[in-house]
Amino acid sequence: MTGRVAVLRAYGGEFELREYPVPEVEPGAILVRLTRAGICGSDLHIWRGEMKEVYGASPRDLTFGHEMCGRVERLGAGVTTDSRGQPLSEGDRVTYLYFFPCGRCPVCLHDELGSCPRKARPSRVAGTPPYFNNAYGDYYYLRPGHFVFRIPDEVSDDVATPSNCALSQVLYGLRRAGLRAGHTLVVQGAGGLGLNAVAVARDVGAETIIVIDRLAERLALARAFGADHTLSLAELTTADRRVEAVKELTGGFGADVVADFVGYPDVIPEGLRMLRSGGAYLEVGSIAPGNVFSYDATALVRGNARLVATANYSPWALEQALSFLRRNLRRFPFERIVSHLFPLERISEGFRQADWRERQSDPLSVSRAAITM
């Protein structure tokens, strides 16, 4: 038995599909038959060659992809439940962390598994056993003892796919930033992360949610996800005017939490100016290297500002992401986050189109497309 893996040989180029043998499943491991994989903003950065520091000067047989879900194809000996203790059987739909905290270091010990400096990522070189190490392929090999969660029956694959990246990241980040009921939140960027942030903030009980983006259709979607106010970069063309607008909407004080989901360094000083005294700035968007910003440290000190940056998340966030989705399926239009679906054999077209959409609209925005197996 073999399965396909999408392999990239030149940045910005075509993927080629290669067949590899489906591995035996060792005790404690799980073989997942993938059904969906997302094209995330960071996947576009990798594809374009903007992450060469991590992925190498040229992509030697590169495989990647980290947002996914699928069905248990085979359970290794001894696996009877998911990480919540729910019974797990072959055929069950699952999602899981795409990184592997070591569980044996001071950072893991302090309950920050997502920050583990020794966390492992599966091999990105095609042909490395157990062959199915990333999201763009027919299978995924989950190492023994990994965090895995059954997807609730009510939550479709399309809605579940971004849960192990965008949604978990947002839940974790907003919790660390201290967002609470009654707070005001400013969301910079209404892409996949930003829309999830709006829904999570509403669920948490935020009083006022303000979203900033350039595209009218994204702002309309942000309102459908529960935003109270949307500010358009096309209308408010300077940072001063946008900061002023946020101040006006917050009684002159500024927001309790401002979150960057854009990943373009100019938005950070602008967002910092939108904070109330004692507020928290959450930085999530900057993934590609070189996002340097400058800001007056005295203003941070006088404003008692808290700066919180998050990459990855602790395993509880994925479990909460799934219960959040089940609880809010009818409340928010999650099915509208993924705009385009491509079969695995047309993955190159999926990337080209996601890239084109991102460039057409705004270099600051994030497109959402997904691959079906």
- The verdict on 165 binding Zn ion (CB under 5 A) reads yes
Q: Report the distance separating Cα 161 and Cα 167, nearest Å.
A: 10
State which residue, 40 or 249, has the beta carbon closest to Zn ion: 40
Q: Report the distance separating Cα 72 and Cα 32, nearest Å.
A: 5
- The verdict on 195 binding Zn ion (CB under 5 A) reads no
Q: Report the distance separating Cα 93 and Cα 156, nearest Å.
A: 10
State which residue, 67 or 319, has the beta carbon closest to Zn ion: 67
Q: Segment contacting Zn ion (CB under 5 A): 75-83, 164-172, 258-266, 354-362? A: 164-172
Total residues contacting Zn ion (rule CB under 5 A)?
8
Is residue 328 within 8 A of residue 203, CB to CB? The reply is yes
Token pair for 147: 């965090």
Residue with CB nearest Zn ion? Answer: 40
Strands 255-260 and 229-232: unpaired
Q: Report the distance separating Cα 317 and Cα 162, nearest Å.
A: 13
Q: How far is the CB of 284 from Zn ion (least distance, A)?
A: 11
| Member of 44, 68, 108, 222 binding Zn ion (CB under 5 A) | 108
- The verdict on 37 binding Zn ion (CB under 5 A) reads no
- The verdict on 120 binding Zn ion (CB under 5 A) reads no
Q: Segment contacting Zn ion (CB under 5 A): 28-36, 61-69, 253-261, 340-348? A: 61-69
- The verdict on 318 binding Zn ion (CB under 5 A) reads no
- The verdict on 102 binding Zn ion (CB under 5 A) reads yes
Q: Report the distance separating Cα 250 and Cα 257, nearest Å.
A: 12
Q: How far is the CB of 271 from Zn ion (least distance, A)?
A: 21
Residue-wise DSSP of 115-163: G-TT-B----BTT-TTS--SSSBSEEEEPTT--EEEPPTTS-HHHHGGG
* Identity of residue 109: L
User: Using CB atoms within 10 A of its CB, is residue 53 exposed (0-12), middle (13-18) or buried (19+)?
Assistant: exposed
- The verdict on 40 binding Zn ion (CB under 5 A) reads yes
Q: Segment contacting Zn ion (CB under 5 A): 63-71, 142-150, 211-219, 225-233? A: 63-71
Q: Segment contacting Zn ion (CB under 5 A): 100-108, 194-202, 289-297, 334-342? A: 100-108
State which residue, 67 or 270, has the beta carbon closest to Zn ion: 67
Q: Distances from the Cα of 7 to the Cαs of 68, 122, 125, 139, 371, in angstroms?
A: 17, 15, 9, 14, 14
Q: Segment contacting Zn ion (CB under 5 A): 67-75, 133-141, 207-215, 357-365? A: 67-75
- The verdict on 231 binding Zn ion (CB under 5 A) reads no
| Member of 116, 267, 275, 288 binding Zn ion (CB under 5 A) | 116
State which residue, 59 or 191, has the beta carbon closest to Zn ion: 191
State which residue, 101 or 303, has the beta carbon closest to Zn ion: 101
| Member of 17, 105, 236, 300 binding Zn ion (CB under 5 A) | 105
Q: Distances from the Cα of 145 to the Cαs of 67, 82, 106, in angstroms?
A: 20, 10, 20
User: Using CB atoms within 10 A of its CB, is residue 306 exposed (0-12), middle (13-18) or buried (19+)?
Assistant: middle
Helix H or strand E encompassing 319? helix 315-328
State which residue, 145 or 178, has the beta carbon closest to Zn ion: 145
State which residue, 67 or 362, has the beta carbon closest to Zn ion: 67
Using alpha carbons only, what angle is made at residue 196 by residues 212 and 348, rounded to the nearest 5 degrees? Answer: 95
- The verdict on 366 binding Zn ion (CB under 5 A) reads no
Residue-wise DSSP of 242-279: HHHHHHHHTTTS-EEEEEE-S--TTHHHHHHHTEEEEE
- The verdict on 284 binding Zn ion (CB under 5 A) reads no
Q: How far is the CB of 74 from Zn ion (least distance, A)?
A: 26
Strands 184-188 and 255-260: parallel
Q: Segment contacting Zn ion (CB under 5 A): 38-46, 91-99, 218-226, 323-331? A: 38-46
Which residues are at the interface with Zn ion (CB under 5 A)?
Answer: 40, 67, 102, 105, 108, 116, 118, 165
